[in-house]
Chains A and B, each alone.
Chain A
Amino acid sequence: MKNEPVIVVEKLTKQFGNFIAVDGISFEVNKGEIFGFLGANGAGKTTAMRMLCGLSIPTSGKAKVAGFDIYQQTENIKKNIGYMSQKFSLYEDLTVKENINFYAGIYGLNENQIKDKINYLVHHLHLQHQQNTLVKALPLGWKQKLAFSVAIVHDPAIVFLDEPTGGVDPVTRREFWEMIYDASEKGITIFVTTHYMDEAEYCNRVSIMVDGRIEALDSPKKLKQNFECVSMDEVFLKLARKATRSE
């Protein structure tokens, strides 16, 4: 597992005019790893993530996602990744079933596969009685779990989670992380950004971005040792205070 990198980034840079949003970052993420991508607002997390998802073309540097080049093979990348944003990205005016149907449909799953997926997910999430309910009627926690299930409905190699737990209570967050562990065990690589430092502790490895650069990258345990801190919170603050730019 350790020696099978699915994301390889080398000196990746994105410049908007004079502003260097992402400044030559390099890192690797292994298969099945839960990789925390931290940074204060404006540190360049979102820009970096957009480049890895094939939504934005880098100014310079190299990167391979799921084995595909981010300049040339964005189409292949898109087929092999999932994405979930903090807005949960479900259609509120569609039912649970229709949402699964739609996302499975745009990833090109065939009818039988979609049927199996719906059956599996509905049981797995205990939504048997809600499968024909409009998503807007679901509690926030369920929406979030459904959004995650939908993001990995096509069994991608990597799933990018952009602050997936914003506004959710601690109990649901805990349950959500159990789902993340499940996915990771199935071999799906998790690339997650978050502002909650307790969540950072759940990650296998964490990188902290400051002013467009990666200032630290290691397992939470080692980071705490190296920075002589008791919690990830302290580590983060120590690094983030060095930031010269804000949003």
Chain B
Amino acid sequence: MKQFFAFVKKEFFHIWRDKRTLFILMGIPITQIIIFGFALTNEVKNAKIAVLDYARDNVSQQLIQKIAANKYFQIDKSLYSYQQVEPAFKEGKIKMAIVFPQNFASDLLHGNKAQLQFITDATDPNVATTLVNYANAIVKDYQTDINKTTVYPYTIETEIRMMYNPELKGAYSFVPGVMALILMLTCAMMTSIAIVKEKEMGTMEVILVSPLKPFRVILAKAVPYMLLSMINVISILLLSVFVLDVPIRGSLLLLLSESLLFTITSLALGLLISSLTNSQQVAMLFSFLGLFLPTTVFSGYMFPIENMPIPLQIISNIVPAKWYYNIVKAIMIKGLGIASVWKETLILLAMTIVLFTVSIKKFKTRLA
């Protein structure tokens, strides 16, 4: 055991001496969270809009106020004729225009039916749809308000409810995604590089000649990166809770244990990579192509797996990150317990065992 600790200590020296890598390792999750959290979101905040109000009655005024008060919209200008709408878009500042026709209030209050037009800049379809959804929600909300005072509420309400994520926050899906990605990268890539480095330096030979058992060597190499990864998990979770307002609804303990399991899975993958190559560059390339890309593409946090062709959907099943992503989403966002994720957990566990067996075997045959 003492020999093992001597080894682990040495690994920490390596990590500590290589400040640049350490900085990148600890910095990646923070920058990722910040980039994803503030730049790459589906949310649209403070979208500039224009209002063309032909009605100028109290209903239209009330609605405009409601829209203006919302954090998603910011009324940039008021238009006076339909001809001004297109030039306003062409200026490029506004994302949406709302047009109230004449007699809006009387149509609504007497005819029980009024029309309202949303014109959006669909050069960016995602933003356009999101804005229309937000505006619709505000109008529906207003409708509910006035129906309360009406004796005969004729209007049929269509209710859309966004379960678990009513505000359609992007952070809800990418926090689990970033966690999967970061763990994969720190654990698998760094472990494989650390082992391959010893092969390159020639120190692996000396270690193998020493009485330290190969399994212990591998473990000692992996322990520091496991610790670093868990620190990363915690920093991601802290950032998401306190900066991005993403809740942890389920058990924190369960979430951390599942993360530890996934860390071990990544580690096993890293070992496999290190046994397939002898140079750090190749290990890096392998990790990138073999781990980073599949993780981003097939875990489901960037591209919905349901929309993929069947063969790709099948392939996605062998990507460990997909299962971890689903587990984290279930625990963190939906607040589910082990009863709902035992299947995914078992799959991860099985993958880990298979990967470990294969890589230890590979490591040993290299010696014979």
Alpha-carbon gap, A108 to B210, bound state (A):
10
Name 24 interchain pairs, CB-CB below 8 A, sorted by A. Answer: A53-B209, A54-B209, A56-B367, A78-B210, A79-B211, A83-B209, A83-B210, A85-B206, A86-B202, A87-B202, A89-B205, A89-B206, A93-B14, A94-B14, A102-B7, A102-B9, A102-B10, A105-B5, A105-B6, A105-B10, A106-B211, A107-B3, A107-B210, A108-B2
Alpha-carbon gap, A103 to B9, bound state (A):
12
Nearest first, the 3 A-B pairs at minimum CB distance are: A105-B6, A87-B202, A83-B209
Q: Are A106 and B6 within 8 A (Cβ)?
A: yes
Q: Are A84 and B13 within 8 A (Cβ)?
A: no
Q: Are A56 and B368 within 8 A (Cβ)?
A: yes
**Is B110 interfacial (CB-CB < 8 Å)?**
no
A33, chain B: closest CB distance, angstroms: 20
Chain B residues lying within 8 Å of A54, measured Cβ to Cβ, are: 209
Chain B residues lying within 8 Å of A53, measured Cβ to Cβ, are: 209
Q: Are B211 and A108 within 8 A (Cβ)?
A: yes
Chain A residues lying within 8 Å of B211, measured Cβ to Cβ, are: 75, 78-79, 106-108
Q: Are B13 and A98 within 8 A (Cβ)?
A: yes
Q: Are A89 and B17 within 8 A (Cβ)?
A: no
Alpha-carbon gap, A102 to B210, bound state (A):
12
**Is A91 interfacial (CB-CB < 8 Å)?**
yes
Q: Are A102 and B209 within 8 A (Cβ)?
A: no
Q: Are A108 and B3 within 8 A (Cβ)?
A: yes
Count A-B pairs with CB separation below 8 Å: 83
Chain A 34-47, CB-CB to B under 8 Å as 1, else 0, gives 00000000000000
B interface residue numbers (CB < 8 A to A): 2-3, 5-7, 9-10, 13-14, 17-18, 201-203, 205-212, 367-368
Q: Whose C-beta in chain A lies nearest to the C-beta of B368? A: A57
B25, chain A: closest CB distance, angstroms: 16
- If A75-B211, A87-B203, A89-B201 are given as contacts, then 15 extra A-B residue pairs at C-beta distance below 8 Å, sorted by A number, are A53-B209, A55-B367, A79-B211, A84-B206, A88-B202, A89-B202, A90-B203, A92-B201, A102-B7, A103-B206, A105-B3, A106-B3, A108-B211, A110-B2, A151-B206
Chain A residues lying within 8 Å of B14, measured Cβ to Cβ, are: 91, 93-94
Q: Whose C-beta in chain B lies nearest to the C-beta of A151? A: B206
Q: Whose C-beta in chain A lies nearest to the C-beta of B6? A: A105
Q: Are A78 and B367 within 8 A (Cβ)?
A: no
Chain B residues lying within 8 Å of A92, measured Cβ to Cβ, are: 201
Q: Are B17 and A93 within 8 A (Cβ)?
A: yes
Known contacts A55-B367, A89-B202, A91-B14; A81 and B209 CB within 8 A of each other: yes
**Is A101 interfacial (CB-CB < 8 Å)?**
yes
Chain A residues lying within 8 Å of B205, measured Cβ to Cβ, are: 55, 83, 85, 89
Known contacts A55-B367, A105-B3, A106-B3; A98 and B10 CB within 8 A of each other: yes
Q: Are A83 and B10 within 8 A (Cβ)?
A: no
Known contacts A54-B209, A78-B210; A91 and B203 CB within 8 A of each other: yes
Q: Are B7 and A105 within 8 A (Cβ)?
A: yes
A3, chain B: closest CB distance, angstroms: 28
A149, chain B: closest CB distance, angstroms: 13
B110, chain A: closest CB distance, angstroms: 82
Q: Whose C-beta in chain A lies nearest to the C-beta of B202? A: A87
Alpha-carbon gap, A84 to B211, bound state (A):
15
Known contacts A85-B202, A93-B14, A94-B17; A55 and B7 CB within 8 A of each other: no
Chain A residues lying within 8 Å of B212, measured Cβ to Cβ, are: 106
Alpha-carbon gap, A79 to B205, bound state (A):
15
Q: Are B207 and A106 within 8 A (Cβ)?
A: yes
Alpha-carbon gap, A104 to B211, bound state (A):
11
Alpha-carbon gap, A102 to B212, bound state (A):
12
Chain B residues lying within 8 Å of A86, measured Cβ to Cβ, are: 202
* Interface hits, A65-88 → B, CB 8 Å: 75, 78-79, 81-88
Q: Are B17 and A78 within 8 A (Cβ)?
A: no
Chain A 113-137, CB-CB to B under 8 Å as 1, else 0, gives 0000000000000000000001000
